[in-house]
Structure 1
Amino acid sequence: MPKLGILAIVICLALFAGLFVVVDPAKVIAAFGDVSAGSVVVALLIVQVQIVLSALRWQFTAARLGHRISRSLAVREYYVSSVLNQVLPGGMAGDAVRAYRNRTEEPGGWKRPATAVFLERLSGQLAFFLMTGLGLIAWPVFLADRLPEGFAGLALTFLALLVCGLGVGIFVWRSKLSARFERLKPDLVAAFWRDGAGWVQVLLSASIVAGYVSTFLIASHAVGAPLPPIGAFTAVPLCLLTMLIPAGIGGWGTREVAAAALWPLFGFTSAQGVSASLLYGSLSLAGAALPGLVVIAHQVLTGRIGRA
């Protein structure tokens, strides 16, 4: 296993070990006792909708770049990708596999599928960042009495990192990326601008993010910690944002740490936050696992595991 993969596993285990030193594991487990079958079924159905919409976003983006894939293939491949992203280090292994398996026989046949996957994920992450930004604005406006400890410092740090990131980005851009962007620019225009493509991306990405948030809210309610509506724009997006940190396995660990810190701001315990996050992760994995594993098994049996 590559060193970075081993490091990701170690970080994930260390986060859980530290978390359960602070939070009583018995309370975390006890919160699962009241989870209803109805909540599980509804959440699993939302996960299916979320994955299908993600597959449609990928199909649309790929088509805009001249890489045609069928709807059924897009859905099958997205299930596989979703499973791998949640169980392998880095959180992006499934995307790499999806791009590789959909390569063409032409010279450089992996480039177009890889670009489509990259831009499709970019669309989703932009929606995540936008929602998180709105949440940071909403917090002091609607929850002034529940600001996280050191919120001002956190906001200033975020702003400083943003400014530094922009500065580094401009420097790297001018030195290395400008030419690459010029080559990518036609693809960006095709995927996000021309012929109303941006509206399709916004609609799909907003719906997908709403699916993530809804599943998390259901999970939290199921463990006895029903968040108020404002939680959908504050605590939940911050938890989901931690899943983008490529220092663990599919967001496991980082997401739970964030939930343990944020749920007490709404009158719940850290243990309930951890339970909500664990249930969310389990539902997301379970919702993708069965269809994804069926596709993988079929590919193995037919000898086409290296190709979609």
Structure 2
Amino acid sequence: MIATEQVSGAPSFRSKSTLLRNGRVRAAVRRCWPWLRLLVAVGILAALAWRLGAGAFVAGLRVITVPSLLAAVGIGFLTTLFGAWRWCLVARNLGLPLKLGTAVADCYRSVLLNSVLPAGVLGDVHRAVDHGHRSGDLGRGVRAVVLERFAGQLALAVAGLGALMAYPALVTAVLPGRGLVVVVAVLLLAVVALLLARASAAGRRVWATALRDVRRGLFARRAWPGVALLSAATVVGNVALFVVAARVAGVTAPVAQLFPIMILTLMVMGLPLNVGGWGPREGFSAFAFGAVGLGATAGLTTAVVYGVLSLAACAPGVLVLFRRRPGQGSPGSRAVRYPAKDSTRLASSALPLAADASDGRPTTPEVVYAATPSVSR
């Protein structure tokens, strides 16, 4: 009997040790990830300064004018308004209250924090958690922001695919040799990883919740026309800001030639390897401009100008960064409280997004859906 108990208990001991070891590995990865991201971003900028000289960075700061800053603020207001409107549509279709004025203020704060903090997503994290607490459903509030951001990235990807199809020569110029094969292989590996994740029981629950929210928040009959139109408008606004940056940097190439490069640069900016947006954007812009014959220095200067103009575009977020909402933190006022739902209580104990800047975990739909509870019908 004793031997049987020892034998039967051995697999349990090994499984516990395996879980402990895996937990330590994940903790080590989380600790190293912010430093790795910082090293990659700084390494790209240092390589550009060594190869092209620091003059391109200085020129990008020197050529900025007051009219270009005012244009950036105006374009930034429109793109922020479009993004906030899209968020309202998604949230309301998921059953969450959200006013447009509140959404605009939250989006300004979110864009500002994304621009000045590491990882580039901490502003969206704050916006998602804050709205989830206010609405009384933390899980659904987080998923509303994830879907809103996914709609914007999907519109950008569609625009990028259209640009590549319209200018196939750009593919061979930007991805010479085996570069295209590497990109396709990475995409196939990502698809295989998603299929494997879906095969597990937890993965099936995640996918079921995700698909239900996508149908309700993005592809419902009363949601998808507005979401698609507003997503296209935000892409146009970002490209317009890039065109302003190119003209300020002295690039006189027609917009039709610059459009595919700018779309691809905007897509590269989404990589979680930047520091406040800097790093991969400058590297890819310099490489792409040089590949199509516009000059790598011109591409780097354009990216630097765009980085400064994008900071100016989100500068109004300072006005709402420390603003207190009515009934929030003021003595004698009564805060509006919503009844806490089960999803709020469950998600508050193991929220994957409750991380500070040193954590540096990228916010992906899979992470959010895996750790937040299912939305009740």
Query: Same-fold call, TM > 0.5?
Result: yes
1:268 counterpart = 2:294? yes
Question: Displacement of 1:149 after TM fit?
Answer: 5.9
1:41 equivalenced with 2:66 (yes/no): no
**Aligned partner of 1:281 among 294, 300, 307:** 307
1:146-185 alignment runs, 5 A limit:
147-148=172-173, 150-151=175-176, 153-175=178-200, 176-185=202-211
1:24 aligns with 53
Letter of the aligned partner of 2:50 in structure 1?
V
1:1-308 equivalences in 2 (<5 Å)? 3-30=32-59, 32-104=61-133, 109-140=137-168, 143=169, 147-148=172-173, 150-151=175-176, 153-175=178-200, 176-289=202-315, 291-299=316-324, 303=329
- Secondary structure in 2 matching 1:234: helix
Q: Is the 8 A contact 1:85 1:92 kept in 2?
A: yes
Counterpart AA for 2:205:
A
For residue 103 of structure 2, give the secondary structure of its aligned residue in structure 1. helix
- Cα deviation, 1:31-53, whole Å, max 9, x if unaligned, reads 55444433332232111100111
1:213·1:232 contact (CA, 8 Å) conserved in 2? no
Report how far residue 20 of structure 1 moved: 0.3
When Rg is computed on C-alpha atoms for both structures, the one with the higher figure is: 2
Q: How far did residue 60 of structure 1 move?
A: 1.1
Q: Which amino acid aligns with 2:304?
A: L
Q: Is the 8 A contact 1:15 1:257 kept in 2?
A: yes
- For residues 174 and 197 of structure 1, what CA distance do their matches in structure 2 show? 30
* Deviation by residue 1:43-79 (Cα, 9 ceiling, x = unmatched): 3211110011111111111111111111111000000
Residues 294 and 191 (structure 1 numbering): CA distance in 2 closer, same or farther, change over 3 Å?
same
Aligned residues: 300
**CA distance 1:268–1:29, change in 2 (3 Å):** farther
Any unmatched runs of 5+ in structure 2?
A: 1-29, 331-335, 337-377
Q: Distance between the aligned counterparts of 2:217 and 2:112, measured in 1?
A: 26
- For the 8 Å contact 1:56–1:74, the answer to whether it is kept is yes
What secondary structure does 2:317 align onto?
helix
Q: CA deviation at 1:23?
A: 1.0
Gaps of 5+ in 1: none
The CA deviation at 1:121 is 0.4
Q: Cα distance, 1:294 vs. partner?
A: 1.3
Structure 1 contact 57–204 (Cα < 8 Å) conserved: yes
Shift of 1:14: 2.0
Amino acid paired to 2:209 = R
Higher helix share: 1
Q: Is the 8 A contact 2:40 2:273 kept in 1?
A: yes
1:303 Cα deviation after fit: 4.0
Write the distance in 1 (CA, Å) between the matches of 2:126 and 2:46: 31
Deviations 1:99-153 (A, max 9, x none): 111123687x31111010000000001111112222222332xx47x94265352
Q: Equivalent residue of 2:58, what SS?
A: helix
- Measure, in 1, the Cα distance between the counterparts of 2:175 and 2:213: 42
Question: What is the one-letter code of the residue matched to 2:160?
Answer: T
Deviations 1:175-205, CA, capped at 9 Å, x for gaps: 2422212123322111122224211111010
Report the more deviating stretch, 242-251 or 209-218.
242-251
Separation (CA, whole Å) in 2 of partners of 1:134 and 1:46: 23
Q: In structure 1, what is the Cα distance between the partners aligned to 2:114 and 2:215?
A: 28
Distance 2:65 2:135 in 1: 51
Q: Which moved more, 1:89-98 or 1:10-19?
A: 10-19
Aligned-pair identity in percent equals 27
Distance 1:174 1:246 in 2: 27
| Amino acid in structure 2 at the alignment position of 1:46 | I
State the TM-score, normalized to the length of structure 1: 0.88
| Counterpart residue type for residue 44 of structure 1 | V
- For residues 60 and 277 of structure 2, the distance between their equivalents in structure 1, rounded to whole angstroms, comes to 21
Cα distance between partner residues in 2 of 1:149 and 1:293: 38
